[in-house]
Amino acid sequence: MTAQRRPRLDAHRHCAVLLGLALATGCGGGGGGGGSRVAPPPTPEIPGTLQTWDMYQVMVPSSVTATASADHATLDAATCRITLWPATPSQSDLAGQALNILEQTFKDPSRWSGMGGASGLDASVLDDPLHFEGITGQGFRYVDLTAELKNTSGQWSGEIVRIQLTDVDGQAATVLGYQPRIQGCLTEPLVPNMYEWFYVSLSMTFPGHPGDPTALGKKLVGSWAGAGGSVGFADVYAANGQHINAMSNTTYSLPTPTEILETTSSWVGSDAWAAKGNLLTTWPKEAGLAPQTHYFQIYKAIGGSFHWTYERWLDQCGPDICGLYENKT
């Protein structure tokens, strides 16, 4: 499902091909930041009860059981378990530190009893897991690693582990996830996917550490592009608070048995934007369109030979949570 967009038909379609100049020329209209405009509440709301343990504060859904122990806090759902651990000193190689924690932790299956998982694990499967790097809404650097496990016989167990390690003022906040089956709330787009919000740092904060709430918005400035099927789209976020978005849709038909007709429709829209922490607000210039605030994230996907930067924001699309991914150019 494609995230909801707000394009408008524009007679000046040449703006779509000049998006790269929008930062300087303001193609599509002027505007700056949020100014004195009032940002509406974010949609969708993150459901649950705000709870605090150690340095963490997180929104816990009603379907999740939270248990606090002396040295950790556990969040249990039907298909996965998430554990918060006390912070340890951060290392310069945050990804390597996260990988080492995974290897050490999941050698002890007794910590995950009751979840239906296999016995001992083969740590070698954790080599070069898929991982993401980004910053939280408070401006703290984090890594997010996911791996599938093997058992002691060397067979794929179907178990999934995930770790988010966040450098909070020199302390590594450790969030571990375990999923005993290949499908569950660590990896699948459940509706609503409360754990996806949690793991991309949309609902987890560190109240005792102010950080830099402007850091994420600064990374948004620039040109972004994406495509899906026959639809292409692009966004430019200018440092002066101006935003241009464009879409194009290409269709094909057979007017005669020997001809193929290609038809491309283009739209361009403009609005003002402002970011605060992980909240992005846009104020459309078109009459009749209301401002909207969304949670958003910027991260790098790293693995093997690729290293790509993406923007993602969450919007309400009927009963589902929609994610928009765009590659920064």
In this prediction, residues 53-72 reach a mean pLDDT of 89
Looking at the structure, tell me whether residues 191 and 86 fall in a common domain: yes
Three-class DSSP labels, the chain: CCCCCCCCCCCCCHHHHCHHHHHHHCCCCCCCCCCCCCCCCCCCCCCCEEEEECCEEEEECCCCEEEECCCCEEEECCCCEEEEEEEEECCCCHHHHHHHHHHHHCCCHHHHCCCCCCCCEEHHHHCCCEEEEEECCCCCEEEEEEEEEEECCCCEEEEEEEEEEEEECCEEEEEEEEECCCCCCCCCCCCCCHHHHHHCCCCEECCCCCCCCCHHHHHHCEEEEEEECCEEEEEEECCCCEEEEEEEEEEEEEEECCEEEEEEEEEEEEEEEEEECCEEEEEECCCCCCCEEEEEEEEEEEECCEEEEEEEEEEEECCEEEEEEEEEC
Residue 1, in any domain of the structure: no
Residue 101, in any domain of the structure: yes
Q: Is the pLDDT of residue 323 over 80?
A: no
Q: Which segment of 20-24, 29-33, 37-41, 313-317 scores lowest on mean pLDDT?
A: 20-24
Looking at the structure, tell me whether residues 264 and 196 fall in a common domain: no
Residue 7, in any domain of the structure: no
Q: Which segment of 210-214, 226-230, 251-255, 270-274 scores lowest on mean pLDDT?
A: 226-230
Residue 76, in any domain of the structure: yes
Domain that holds residue 265: 14-42+214-328
How many independent structural domains does the chain possess? 2
Looking at the structure, tell me whether residues 58 and 197 fall in a common domain: yes
pLDDT digits (tens, 9 = 90+) for 75-87: 888 888 889 999 9
Residue 4, in any domain of the structure: no
Look at residue 324 in the predicted model and tell me its pLDDT. Answer: 62
Greater pLDDT, 226 or 120: 226
Q: Is the pLDDT of residue 186 over 90?
A: no
Look at residue 158 in the predicted model and tell me its pLDDT. Answer: 75
Look at residue 141 in the predicted model and tell me its pLDDT. Answer: 94
Q: Which segment of 34-38, 96-100, 288-292 scores lowest on mean pLDDT?
A: 34-38
Looking at the structure, tell me whether residues 35 and 57 fall in a common domain: no
In this prediction, residues 31-50 reach a mean pLDDT of 72
Look at residue 19 in the predicted model and tell me its pLDDT. Answer: 31
Looking at the structure, tell me whether residues 268 and 318 fall in a common domain: yes
pLDDT digits (tens, 9 = 90+) for 115-162: 444 444 544 444 446 788 899 999 999 998 887 776 656 666 777 888
Look at residue 108 in the predicted model and tell me its pLDDT. Answer: 59
Q: Which segment of 30-44, 162-176, 191-205, 215-229 scores lowest on mean pLDDT?
A: 191-205
Q: Is the pLDDT of residue 291 over 90?
A: yes
Q: Is the pLDDT of residue 240 over 80?
A: yes
Q: Which of these three, 174, 201, 228, is where a domain ends?
A: 201
Greater pLDDT, 171 or 328: 171
Greater pLDDT, 35 or 211: 211
Residue 118, in any domain of the structure: yes
Please give the torsion angle defined by the CA atoms of residues 248, 253, 256 and 260, in that order, rounded to the nearest 10 degrees: 50
Looking at the structure, tell me whether residues 142 and 57 fall in a common domain: yes
Residue 5, in any domain of the structure: no
